[in-house]
Amino acid sequence: MRKAFIFLIAILILIFVPLSLSALELKQGRLKLILHEKTGRFSLYYLEDVRTNRYSPLFLDQDPRTTYLSILVNNKVYRMGETSGFTEKLEKTNSGARFIWESSFLRVTQAFSFISSANSPLSNGISIDIGVTNISEQNLSVGVRYLVDTNLGEKGNSHFETDTLSQITNEREFIKPRIPKYILSRSANAANPGLQIMTAAPGVTKPDRIVLSNWKRLNDNSWTYDVNTTRNFNQLPYSINDSAVALFYNPVPVKKGDKLLVSFPVGAFTNEGFALQGESSRGEIEQLFDKTVTQSSSMPQDIELAVQTDLIAVRDLIARINSKIENGEEITKAEIGVLYQVIQELKARKLRYESR
């Protein structure tokens, strides 16, 4: 069974040549994720133009250090990637990659995995999963803060939107239970839909507090922050029109050996947003088949664009196959049957493309 499965991969590779992945740069669907090993930071890019392979950043990428994770332990803040006393490791995983920071009392992981919204045939978001494990000999109080240095909304009249509010131009906070479904930093460029941070959806860890403010103000205040709704996103004289989002998860007791988990998706804006659970119980391969083959329309007008999109879909499919093999997961007859159908569909498309 396993040999037949690997044979199908070889056929797929012969039909379409997948793009190669590097250790620190991952591409899937319409996203490119770059993990910066020396700083413990990451950059996220959206594929604006499939034909020219042009990507644009979903948040500030000139200095990736401005977006970061902070952990509050017994009233002391540790900024991951900067705080001394923590070792750092970056490793690839079956679904993406993760950072691991470890000290004498704490083990912190930040994992990244590609996801897609309900109506997208290609990956257009990532799930950020944070785990904080108490490896000390005593109970700890642990909180989490995630600061995202947004920039797309800074180019227009509105820095932020939510599912119920538009044109947010001043500081604002949301406190649980009144947490919006998402925070959007909309791009002024029509080819880039903007950065969407999901804060209340199935499987998402709802923050206790969300603060929209000037980045420098949030950066200078490591945990506590007093919001003033009359202030805009400037802090004179140097920090002008510079907005950011801070997600706060209040401190909770974490016993020796226990782990605190925080998960939230970010990605390119879609009306349906992203969820981390509630997907179909069918396997990922079957789901991808439905999105790329079953739901395929008639012969497209733009052949070049269709071929490029198919290449991305095949790359995603091969990545998921490789993940199954590397993880030692069982390959079912149903999945092999699906792959045969995918191969036949791709061959048929190839012939249609060549006949045009």
pLDDT over threshold 50, residue 270: yes
pLDDT over threshold 70, residue 278: no
pLDDT tens-digit map of 97-119: 999 999 999 999 999 999 988 87
Question: Phi then psi for 2, rounded to 5 degrees?
Answer: -65, -40
pLDDT at 326: 67
Beta strand spans in 164-242 (E): 172-175, 182-185, 195-198, 209-214
pLDDT tens-digit map of 223-256: 989 999 999 999 888 889 999 999 999 999 999 9
pLDDT over threshold 50, residue 19: no
pLDDT over threshold 90, residue 257: yes
pLDDT at 215: 96
Q: Which residue from 207, 197, 147 is spatially nearest to 177, judged by alpha carbons?
A: 207
pLDDT at 21: 35
Rounded Cα distance, 24 and 6, in Å: 26
Rounded Cα distance, 130 and 112, in Å: 9
Rounded Cα distance, 124 and 290, in Å: 17
pLDDT at 320: 67
pLDDT at 136: 97
Kindly indicate the confidence band of residue 291, based on its pLDDT and cuts at 50, 70 and 90.
low
Rounded Cα distance, 99 and 69, in Å: 11
From 3-7, 70-74, 219-223, 349-353, the region with the lowest mean pLDDT: 3-7
Domains and CATH numbers, the chain: 2-21+280-355 (no CATH), 37-268 (2.70.98)
Mean pLDDT of 16-35: 70
Residue 76 C-alpha from the chain's centroid: 28
pLDDT at 255: 96
pLDDT over threshold 50, residue 22: no
pLDDT over threshold 50, residue 339: yes
How many secondary structure helices (H) and strands (E) does the chain include?
5, 18
User: Long-range pairs for 16-24 at CB < 8 Å and ≥24 separation?
Assistant: 16/310, 16/311, 16/314, 16/315, 16/346, 17/311, 18/311, 18/314, 18/315, 18/318, 19/311, 19/315, 21/319, 23/92, 24/90, 24/97
pTM higher than 0.85, yes or no? no
pLDDT over threshold 70, residue 10: no
Rounded Cα distance, 108 and 99, in Å: 8
Greater confidence, 152 or 317? Answer: 152
